[in-house]
């Protein structure tokens, strides 16, 4: 079967390092046919490394901007790449893909200590989400994932990987997990306290109520944010007063956003009115959007409306605590220059970014797609200053 001409053009454009990659061609990677996938998989190892890195990260950006695009086959190709950065972006691209066969690839990445800590941490993170979605009928796979996460938590050389493994184990019913969470919560390092709180929220276990309530007023903003999120996940009624006070008194925007989200999960008398009053007062567009989504959630819970898909940073699938020793999502100047789009619209996700930032990600979040005014025909209008990054 003859290869479609558009695929030939696509591969030639990828190989041509002397010419900027036409942004409108990114759409051609959506919904690849089986035949085109085979051709592209064969050509992929010959694509220059930097172009492979930039391309997959840009597909992540585009997928976040337009959920109708389907880059799963491209993600599967990139997941087989030898380069850690490409694989990390591939995990992002496949994050919502529920194919259980992908778990084997993620397990291989997690257990391969020749790979870098960042990509192993990303694998630990996505395995938690897969674990949460598995039914009891798949107990053998559940056991494999739990055992791999337990082993990583106990023995991985990277502190980041150990923490991500603990966060993912929050979804597990394994008998050892509660003690591991307690041990992490009792540590002096704030990163471990954050990870413990994240795992508590994921556990849906009321035994953590007192731990979470005790941390709602922690002096560290990142810890408070995690505690607020856990309170929302666990629907802690006793947290409501502190969360309402935070709407007025909290100066850290990330913590305020978590308070808004948590209150939408907990609900209760007068919460809708408090959020409506806050919506009238705020001049922050991002916060206004979060409040409107919170009100939609409350209306749904109260039976007053239909729940729309939320895009809260604090609910995104691949959110987690930040990277050790740096602000979540922090980039070096060199890293910022590597991406074609640079932008991480949303994850992590200000969508899976310390709820507001994805600590495993290596991308900037300054730019976003304007979906209301965006047309495919003028896709490349905004890329005049890429300076040859492709």
Instruction: Give the C-alpha separation, 352 to 130, whole Å.
Output: 13
Three-state secondary structure of 265-297: HHCCCCHHHHHHHHHHHCCCHHHHHHHHHHHHH
Parts of the chain with a pLDDT under 70: 1-5, 303-390
Q: What pLDDT is stored for residue 247 in this prediction?
A: 93
Contact 265, 295 (CB under 8 A): no
Instruction: Give which of 194, 193, 107 is closest to 152, Cα–Cα.
Output: 107
Contacts 24+ apart (CB under 8 A), 73-79: 73/31, 73/32, 73/37, 74/29, 74/32, 74/40, 76/37, 76/102, 77/37, 77/40, 77/41, 77/44, 78/44, 78/52, 79/105
Residue 250, both tokens: 């909290």
The answer for residues whose C-beta is within 8 angstroms of residue 186's C-beta and 6 or more apart is none
Contact 220, 190 (CB under 8 A): yes
Q: What pLDDT is stored for residue 304 in this prediction?
A: 58
Residue 321, both tokens: 């605590």
Compute the radius of gyration of the chain from its Cα atoms. 21
Q: What pLDDT is stored for residue 144 in this prediction?
A: 97
3-state secondary structure of 364: strand
Instruction: Give the C-alpha separation, 108 to 105, whole Å.
Output: 5
Q: What pLDDT is stored for residue 355 in this prediction?
A: 33
Contacts 24+ apart (CB under 8 A), 333-339: 335/362, 336/364, 337/389, 338/50, 338/53, 338/54, 338/362, 338/389, 339/53, 339/54, 339/57, 339/58, 339/363, 339/364, 339/389
- Most distant pair of Cα atoms in the chain: their distance: 66
Contact 53, 85 (CB under 8 A): yes
Residue at token pair 């930097």: 50
Contact 61, 347 (CB under 8 A): no
How does DSSP classify residue 210? Answer: H
Instruction: Return the CATH number of the domain spanning residue range 205-315.
Output: 1.25.10.10
Instruction: Give the C-alpha separation, 67 to 63, whole Å.
Output: 6
Q: What pLDDT is stored for residue 307 in this prediction?
A: 45
- For residue 64, CA distances in Å to 125, 286, 325 come to 18, 17, 28
pTM of the predicted structure, to 2 decimals: 0.77
Q: What pLDDT is stored for residue 347 in this prediction?
A: 30
The answer for residues whose C-beta is within 8 angstroms of residue 369's C-beta and 6 or more apart is 61, 62, 65, 66, 343, 345
Q: What pLDDT is stored for residue 322 in this prediction?
A: 54
Q: What pLDDT is stored for residue 390 in this prediction?
A: 53
Instruction: Give the C-alpha separation, 49 to 388, whole Å.
Output: 15
Contact 314, 366 (CB under 8 A): no
């Amino acid at each position: 079967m003859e290869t479609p001409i558009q695929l030939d053009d696509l591969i030639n454009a990828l190989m041509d390092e002397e010419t900027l990659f036409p942004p409108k061609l990114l759409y051609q990677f959506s919904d690849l046919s089986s035949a085109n996938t085979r051709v592209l998989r064969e050509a992929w190892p010959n694509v220059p490394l930097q172009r492979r890195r930039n391309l997959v990260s840009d597909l992540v950006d585009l997928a976040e901007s337009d959920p109708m695009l389907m880059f799963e086959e491209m993600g599967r190709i990139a997941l087989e790449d030898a380069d850690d950065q490409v694989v990390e972006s591939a995990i992002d691209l496949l994050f919502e893909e529920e194919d259980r066969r992908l778990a084997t690839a993620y397990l291989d990445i997690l257990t391969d200590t020749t790979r870098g800590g960042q990509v192993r941490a990303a694998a630990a993170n996505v395995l938690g989400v897969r674990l949460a979605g598995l039914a009891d009928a798949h107990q053998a796979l559940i056991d494999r994932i739990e055992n791999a996460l337990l082993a990583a938590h106990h023995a991985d050389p990277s502190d980041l990987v150990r923490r991500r493994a603990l966060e993912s184990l929050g979804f597990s019913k394994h008998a050892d997990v509660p003690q591991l969470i307690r041990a992490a919560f009792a540590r002096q390092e704030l990163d471990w306290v954050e990870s413990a709180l994240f795992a508590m929220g994921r556990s849906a276990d009321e035994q953590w109520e007192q731990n979470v309530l005790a941390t709602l007023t922690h002096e560290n903003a990142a810890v408070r944010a995690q505690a607020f999120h856990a309170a929302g996940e666990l629907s802690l009624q006793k947290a409501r007063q502190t969360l309402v006070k935070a709407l007025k008194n909290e100066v850290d925007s990330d913590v305020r956003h978590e308070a808004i989200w948590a209150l939408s999960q907990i609900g209760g008398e007068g919460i809708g009115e408090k959020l409506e009053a806050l919506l009238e007062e705020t001049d922050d567009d991002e916060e206004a959007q979060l409040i409107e989504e919170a009100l939609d959630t409350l209306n749904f819970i109260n039976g007053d409306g239909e729940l729309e898909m939320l895009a809260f940073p604090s609910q995104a699938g691949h959110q987690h605590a930040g990277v050790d020793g740096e602000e979540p999502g922090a980039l070096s100047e060199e890293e910022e220059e590597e991406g074609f789009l640079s932008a991480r619209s949303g994850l992590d996700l200000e969508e899976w970014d310390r709820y507001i930032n994805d600590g495993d990600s290596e991308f900037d979040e300054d730019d976003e797609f304007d979906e209301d005014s965006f047309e495919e025909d003028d896709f490349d209008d905004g890329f005049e200053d890429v300076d040859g990054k492709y």
